[in-house]
Amino acid sequence: MIKDLLHSTPSLLNFGIFFGLAVLLLFVVLGFVTYGILSERKIMGFMQLRVGPNQIGGKWGLLQTVADVLKLLIKEDTIPKKADKPLYILAPVIAFAPAFMVLAALPFTDAFQFADIGVGLLYYMAISGISTIGIVTAGWASNNKYSLIGGMRAAAQMISYEIPLVMSLVGIVLLTGSLNLNEIVAAQEKVWFIFLQPIAFIVFFIASVAELNRVPFDLPEAESELVAGYHVEYSGFRWAFFMLSEYVYMFAMATLTTVLFLGGWNSIPFLDFIPAAIWFGLKFSAVFYVLVWIRVTFPRIRADQLMEFGWKVLLPVALANIFLTALIKELINLF
Amino acid sequence: MLRTEEMLLNVGPQHPSTHGVFRLVIKIDGEIIKEATPVIGYLHRGTEKLAENLQYTQIIPYTDRLDYLAAMTNNYVLCHAVETMMEMEIPDRAEYLRVIAMELGRVASHLVWWGTYLLDIGATSPFLYAFREREMIVNLLTELSGARLTFNYMRVGGVKWDAPEDWIEKVAEFVPYMREQLAGYHELVTGNEIFVNRVKGVGTYTKEEALQYSLSGANLRCTGVNWDLRKNEPYSIYDRFNFDVPTRTEGDAFSRYHCRMEEIEESLKILEQAVEQFPEGPVLAKVPKIIKVPKGEAFVRIESPRGEIGCYIASEGKKEPYRLKFRRPSFYNLQILPKLLEGENMSNLITILGAIDIVLGEVDG
């Protein structure tokens, strides 16, 4: 349906349909963020001998996040006197907009995708890199020493981890011969790439946790050292935008992991009577659970060790993986 | 060359990892600390001056508020000083109750340290696990004294109340439970690569430096000095128990971590034996209604979870002391901080500060 729309002549109706779809996606994502945060808190509570949210919205705390967001929205909007005002206002937008943009290219099932871009993978990597600028801008514009350090750390961290992240995916691209996410999923119909590319998966997963700024790589906002890092001066809905972009990225990254390594919506053999959307949801939830699990278990890595790990361990391993993949592929072609 | 300049950064007094109201003014060049100046006194209440106008029994609640994580030891050091000056005989049962209370306090204090230290390093879960066990100790001590933190339990000549029924059995049950949990702690944290990388070789000092800075407790023992007042100058009834003094030789944050974790085990050993030997009898010696300490002066020191806590009393033979001074180990242990921080990475700041294990109530007095 979307393909037909893309090739039809532009009209007000087309615009209306696209706008409607975007709003739909926004609600899907907001719904995820709402219940993603809730489930994260519940899982953390379960692992840490706590109950988690249990007051608002019944005993499961189903409306807790809604109440939290509402509280943030009605909070007074404060801007520090000495902050760089235009940049301070712009920063959350720069951080959030790309987070939402990347969702367009992600295929959720074979029927539910907004833009089937030929270079979908590249698009994701390119756009998600922009968010870092938002974080650095926020760190700079707040005119606070802690947030400046946080912003600088964020910049350094993103550069160090974006590269291994992209490099680890080259192996998959070599095997598939395409950057199109749909074709990557189609290529996994028999074997998932997690089995064909285990090294790439490990590198990708570590780098993606670092990209998400989550424990053990949450240095830009290391609350015990930098108080809150780059968003120390932000409050109310501006702060909510940073949090929102963080969780939207988590949504996007869990989707990407599912699509690239866990076979997307492909089913396990003999279980293909279960709809694709449910398969996708299951794999997605598993990735999400592991992300939360990691957050509960690990302490934070140190800034300089993080750099060392990115450049001296992950990058060489990712490069070796490319070489190995190419070699094996050529050998198979030979015989 | 780009022109760069040093940045002056205030860490605290409102900062999540300064454990209260500690302030640190640091000069940083990039993320490297050039100079660190601790600023203390935000929690100063003038305990020593206040004590000059109070009777001895009235001072005991004030000592609770010094090292509020191990208040029993503070109670004891004051009572011990007064008892030493009055040359008093303490009933056996009272001494056992005191030792059990103090060792429980030591375990609780180290648990809080363990939890908050890992919280500083970025792991959230250990904090909650440590507080689960600590809560059990706090409950035990509440049953004993009626308060969760500020116990006000010890008296000159003994303790305020006898232990409630079944209390000793509860302590006996707690010991094996705690051992089991301790094994779990080691499994979760001690071998963790990230944790080891963050603490190993960080904040190292030598034996000589430790002695020069008058460090005590685990901060001293981590450099290889085998010095524990419970062993070297046995007070109370510590000579009746069989326990070891854990020492390390590296002198870094990781060795301090090990020392403290092993101290928990040793405290459990003491608790086990104390519960076994627990005698019958009175819990308070015969003391006059109004305590008057004979003219003179005395200094006693005991081993608190944080190091050597001392109490000096100068008496004119009145109801109140003429001068009372506490040697507060946190205050002395903190002095080495500027030296340790110089040239360190910014992200080591919290690791080094946390490893010293200060309690601000004690630092500020």
**pLDDT value of residue B138:** 92
Taking only residues 313 to 332 of chain A, the set having a beta carbon closer than 8 angstroms to any beta carbon of chain B reads none
Residue with tokens 């524990």: B228
User: Are B295 and B287 contacting, i.e. CB atoms less than 8 angstroms apart?
Assistant: no
Residue with tokens 């004993």: B144
Mean local confidence (pLDDT), B200-211: 88
pLDDT tens profile A180-228: 888 888 777 777 888 778 888 888 888 888 888 887 887 777 666 777 7
Q: Give how far Cα A94 sits from Cα of A128, A184, A255, Å.
A: 11, 30, 22
**pLDDT value of residue A223:** 67
How would residue A2 be classed by pLDDT, with cut points 50, 70 and 90? low
The residue of chain A with its CA nearest to that of B194 is A301
Q: Do B125 and A216 touch (CB under 8 A)?
A: no
Global ipTM: 0.79
Pick the residue of A225, A294, A308 with the most B CBs within 10 A to test the interface with B by mutation: A225
Cis peptide before A216 (omega within 30 of 0): yes
Distance from CA of A63 to the nearest CA of B (A): 25
Q: Count the alpha carbons within 13 Å of A29 in the hemisphere toward its beta carbon.
A: 26
Which residues from chain A sit within 8 angstroms of residue B26, using beta carbons? none
Which residues from chain A sit within 8 angstroms of residue B194, using beta carbons? 216, 298-301
Residue A189, strand partner residues: none
The residue of chain B with its CA nearest to that of A303 is B347
Residue A167 has pLDDT above 60, yes or no: yes
How would residue B139 be classed by pLDDT, with cut points 50, 70 and 90? very high
SS3 label, residue B310: strand
The residue of chain A with its CA nearest to that of B202 is A302
Cis peptide before B13 (omega within 30 of 0): yes
CA angle B153, B157, B160 (to 5 degrees): 30
**pLDDT value of residue A67:** 86
B293 closest CA partner among B192, B148, B198, B156: B156
- Chain B interface includes A211 (CB < 8 A): no
Helix (H) or strand (E) holding B34, with range, is: strand B32-39
How would residue B299 be classed by pLDDT, with cut points 50, 70 and 90? very high
- Chain B interface includes A304 (CB < 8 A): yes
Which residues from chain B sit within 8 angstroms of residue A300, using beta carbons? 121-123, 194, 198
- Chain A interface includes B19 (CB < 8 A): no
Q: Do A149 and B31 touch (CB under 8 A)?
A: yes
The residue of chain A with its CA nearest to that of B133 is A49
pLDDT tens profile A235-276: 888 888 888 888 888 888 888 888 888 877 777 777 777 777
How would residue A327 be classed by pLDDT, with cut points 50, 70 and 90? confident
Residue A42 sits at φ, ψ, to 5 deg, of: -70, -45
Which residues from chain B sit within 8 angstroms of residue A214, using beta carbons? none
A144 closest CA partner among A229, A53, A27, A201: A229
- Supply the DSSP symbol for B284: B
Residue A5 has pLDDT above 70, yes or no: no
Question: Which amino acid is it at A116?
Answer: D
SS3 label, residue B75: helix
Q: Do A224 and B124 touch (CB under 8 A)?
A: no
Residue A1 has pLDDT above 60, yes or no: no
**pLDDT value of residue A6:** 64
B359 closest CA partner among B217, B233, B246: B217
Q: How far apart are CA A172 and CA B269, in angstroms?
A: 57
User: Are B248 and B220 contacting, i.e. CB atoms less than 8 angstroms apart?
Assistant: no
A172 closest CA partner among A195, A206, A205, A200: A200
User: Are B35 and B9 contacting, i.e. CB atoms less than 8 angstroms apart?
Assistant: no
pLDDT tens profile A34-53: 888 888 888 888 888 888 88
pLDDT tens profile B99-124: 999 999 999 999 999 998 988 888 88
- Supply the DSSP symbol for B109: H
Between B54 and A118, residue with greater pLDDT = B54
Chains A, B: CB contacts within 8 A come to 80
Pick the residue of A48, A224, A306 with the most B CBs within 10 A to test the interface with B by mutation: A224
**Average pLDDT value for chain A:** 82
- Chain B interface includes A294 (CB < 8 A): no
Helix (H) or strand (E) holding B159, with range, is: strand B158-159
Residue A99's CB is within 10 A of a number of other CB atoms, namely 24
Q: Kindly give, in sequence order, each residue whose CB lies less than 8 Å from that of residue A191, ignoring residues fewer than 6 positions away.
A: none
Q: Kindly give, in sequence order, each residue whose CB lies less than 8 Å from that of residue B307, ignoring residues fewer than 6 positions away.
A: B215, B216, B217, B218, B219, B220, B329, B330, B332, B333
Secondary structure of chain A in the HEC alphabet?
CHHHHHHCCCCHHHHHHHHHHHHHHHHHHHHHHHHHHHHHHHHHHHHCCCCCCCCCCCCCCCCHHHHHHHHHHCCCCCCCCCCCHHHHHHHHHHHHHHHHHHHHHCCCCCCCCCCCCCCHHHHHHHHHHHHHHHHHHHHHHCCCHHHHHHHHHHHHHHHHHHHHHHHHHHHHHHHHCCCCHHHHHHHCCCCCHHHHCHHHHHHHHHHHHHHCCCCCCCHHHCCCCCCCHHHCCCCHHHHHHHHHHHHHHHHHHHHHHHHHHCCCCCCCCCCCCCCHHHHHHHHHHHHHHHHHHHHHHCCCCCHHHHHHHHHHHHHHHHHHHHHHHHHHHHHHHHC
Torsion, CA B180, CA B185, CA B186, CA B190, rounded to 10 = -170
How would residue A3 be classed by pLDDT, with cut points 50, 70 and 90? low
Q: Kindly give, in sequence order, each residue whose CB lies less than 8 Å from that of residue B82, ignoring residues fewer than 6 positions away.
A: B56, B156, B291, B293, B313
**Whole-prediction pTM:** 0.86
- Chain B interface includes A8 (CB < 8 A): no
Mean local confidence (pLDDT), B34-61: 88
**pLDDT value of residue B312:** 92
User: Are B275 and B175 contacting, i.e. CB atoms less than 8 angstroms apart?
Assistant: yes
How would residue A111 be classed by pLDDT, with cut points 50, 70 and 90? low
Mean local confidence (pLDDT), B67-87: 89
Q: How far apart are CA B295 and CA B321, in angstroms?
A: 10
